[in-house]
Structure 1
Amino acid sequence: MSRKPLFVLLAALFSLGCGNDGAQGQEIPVQNEDDDATTVEIDDVFAADYWNDAELVWSDEFDGTELSSENWVFETGSHGWGNNELQDYVADNNVEVGDGTLKIIAKKEASGSANYTSARLNSKKSFRYGKMEIRAKIPDHRGNGIWSALWMLGSNIETAGWPACGEIDIMEYVSFDPNKVHFTIHSTANNHISGTQVTSGAVELASIEEEFHVYGLLWTDKYLKFYIDDPGNVKLNFLRSAVSNVDNWPFNQPFYFLMNIAVGGNWGGMEGVDDSIFPAVMEVDYVRVYQVK
């Protein structure tokens, strides 16, 4: 979840639409038991048909009336989350499951030292590479102060810390800037603290508050591609550098999902918080992970 609205486009952004899709598969030598050299073809992740063979490996369709405790865990607290956010993230009371969707609800109510409550959900399972899709509808636009996010963090965050763990923002929305969505990555080399995060900037999406959209990520060892509704509709293409390391490419390890609505904060609260907008509800139809075997 990006911490500040600094729309810095790095050189990697200029790869949008680059002509890498015609690259050929690679071959590498492999030693068998007799030490005779043979070859194995490596899938070309830039091939136009690479994702055609992706298989569904995990999903939550939010059927029924209960949030799956096998899939999700609440992350709670009211300490500002490094962004001077105003809400207290609480368990249970700010989520509902019904009619085929998960509802994450931000409310105007006192909780501890906070004047607002909301929910922040983390997936229990982590994933390394794949096509990630989240179909969701952003809260109806009624005023300033909401900061909704669908994102991922490196599973080593407890040991590596942020931003070394890496962060992938599949969708971010701030209600003071309606009809727009943002896609961003953070790492040690690229993050808002130093003003070097890689971001799409504000992408126009006129129906973001009124309709469900698929927010997608194509993730391989070579790139992160962010899209809306269709994998061909890429809005940010971040290529792995030819000289990569843990600082600029922490994206070769498992990441887990997060879904939340923040209230206020360094970015979400830039234009203040309108208390008349609550309750604010973000609906999630499904979360799906596809991988190429």
Structure 2
Amino acid sequence: MLNAARGSARWIAVIALTALVTVVPFAASESASAATSDACGARIAKPGGGLWSCSFVDDFAGTRLDTSRWVVGDSATGGFHMNSTCFKTGQNVAVGGGQLKLSVRRTAPFACQVPGGSVPAVGVGGGVSTYGKFAQAYGRFEARVKYPSHTGVGLHSNFWMNPQVRTYGAWPASGEIDVAEWFSGFTGRVYPSLHYTGRTTADSGRNCAVARPDMFHTYTLVWGPTTMQFLIDGALCFARSWTPTDMAAPKPFDKPFTAALTAGLGGGTNAPDARTPNLATTSVDYVKVWR
């Protein structure tokens, strides 16, 4: 997540400024091939040749969350809390109508329980992760997401990825990948970012424009050993190679990462105000991963 709005966000054991970037169509080889299909649908051609193979898919076709694929974020057991948002199992995560619904509710101030103590909170969010269920290094990672319609400050949602094992140490040393991070107060932008030791402002695609993030859009990461490419609705909006200061690339992005989706309250310059809705929902149509 962007440092400016991270607040106290951490998902511990449960689950990252360039000049104007022109949005251009991604390579033609990314187009779908209808000749063959797998669990993710029509096979998609890799930029370097061959076809991607589906390794994970959930289109949320049932009436409840598939716990063989996902774990629900819970601050009391996992420690994850985001800005002034607490997460609780059984709250604000629902599946129905072919969608995953992640909601955040504003509340009166309360003590959010975390391992070893508590932190102050003014809302309860919804979050899911593939931690302990699925992790992969390199490949194509994609979600079709609709963010809330609120355009003032106060809300913060993300499609992001974290290491299954923090091989290189505590955040940010082991890395974090934000595929599509949305701040309600920053209208018309959805941000991809990399977090690692030695990160600079150039590691966030701050000019990835989305005219209507409150409509469904497809957010994609193509993760290779030397470069991350971030697409919105099939168009490349940001590409980045990383240069850690405490290790040699491709570290720390050479280990399996989990996928996560969260909906919570904002922090910093995006903190809630009187106009922030008491209830807001992020909708997810599907999550797919290929190798």
> Would you call these one fold, judging by a TM-score over 0.5?
yes
Counterpart pick for 1:94 among 92, 95, 98:
92
1:63-97, Cα deviation, whole Å (9 max, x unpaired): 111111111112222899686x1111111220110
Aligned to 1:204: 209
In structure 1, distance between residues paired with 2:108 and 2:223: 40
Distance 1:243 1:145, change over 3 A: closer
1:108 aligns with 2:106: yes
Residue correspondence of structure 1 range 93-242 to structure 2 within 5 A: 93-110=91-108, 112-113=110-111, 114-123=121-130, 124-141=133-150, 143-157=152-166, 160-190=169-199, 196=201, 198-209=203-214, 211-230=215-234, 233-239=235-241
For residue 52 of structure 1, report the CA deviation from its aligned partner: 4.9
- Contact 2:198–2:243 (Cα < 8 Å) also in 1: no
Aligned to 2:61: 63
- Contact 1:189–1:196 (Cα < 8 Å) also in 2: no
Aligned to 1:36: none
In structure 1, distance between residues paired with 2:241 and 2:71: 32
In structure 1, distance between residues paired with 2:56 and 2:155: 29
Q: Structure 2 counterpart of 1:128, which letter?
A: A
Distance 1:148 1:278, change over 3 A: same
- Contact 2:197–2:245 (Cα < 8 Å) also in 1: no
- Contact 1:221–1:240 (Cα < 8 Å) also in 2: no
Aligned to 1:265: 267
In structure 2, distance between residues paired with 1:76 and 1:108: 17
Distance 1:188 1:248, change over 3 A: farther
Length, aligned pairs only? 250
TM-score by length of 2: 0.75
Distance 1:143 1:243, change over 3 A: closer
- Contact 2:196–2:244 (Cα < 8 Å) also in 1: no
For residue 246 of structure 1, report the CA deviation from its aligned partner: 4.7
- Contact 1:141–1:178 (Cα < 8 Å) also in 2: no
In structure 2, distance between residues paired with 1:216 and 1:159: 26
TM-score by length of 1: 0.75
Structure 2 unaligned regions, length at least 5: 7-16, 29-44, 112-120
For residue 249 of structure 1, report the CA deviation from its aligned partner: 3.5
Q: Structure 1 counterpart of 2:219, which letter?
A: Y
Runs of 4+ displaced beyond 3 Å: 78-83, 240-249
For residue 181 of structure 1, report the CA deviation from its aligned partner: 1.1
- Contact 1:155–1:254 (Cα < 8 Å) also in 2: yes
In structure 1, distance between residues paired with 2:239 and 2:3: 21
Structure 1 unaligned regions, length at least 5: 22-46
1:281 aligns with 2:281: yes
Q: Structure 1 counterpart of 2:2, which letter?
A: S
1:140-197, Cα deviation, whole Å (9 max, x unpaired): 125320011110012223871100110110001111112211111011111xxxx546
What SS does the aligned partner of 1:4 have? Answer: helix
What SS does the aligned partner of 2:273 have? Answer: coil
- Contact 2:155–2:266 (Cα < 8 Å) also in 1: yes
For residue 122 of structure 1, report the CA deviation from its aligned partner: 1.3
Q: Structure 2 counterpart of 1:187, which letter?
A: Y
For residue 139 of structure 1, report the CA deviation from its aligned partner: 0.9
Deviates most, 107-116 or 140-149 = 107-116
Q: What RMSD, in angstroms, separates the aligned Cα atoms of the two structures?
A: 3.3
For residue 4 of structure 1, report the CA deviation from its aligned partner: 1.2
1:10-66, Cα deviation, whole Å (9 max, x unpaired): 9xx99x99xxx9xxxxxxxxxxxxxxxxxxxxxxxxx97426510111111111111
- Tell which structure's C-alpha radius of gyration is larger: 1
Distance 1:162 1:241, change over 3 A: closer
Matched residues, percent identical? Answer: 27
In structure 1, distance between residues paired with 2:81 and 2:124: 17
What SS does the aligned partner of 2:267 have? Answer: coil
What SS does the aligned partner of 1:277 have? Answer: coil
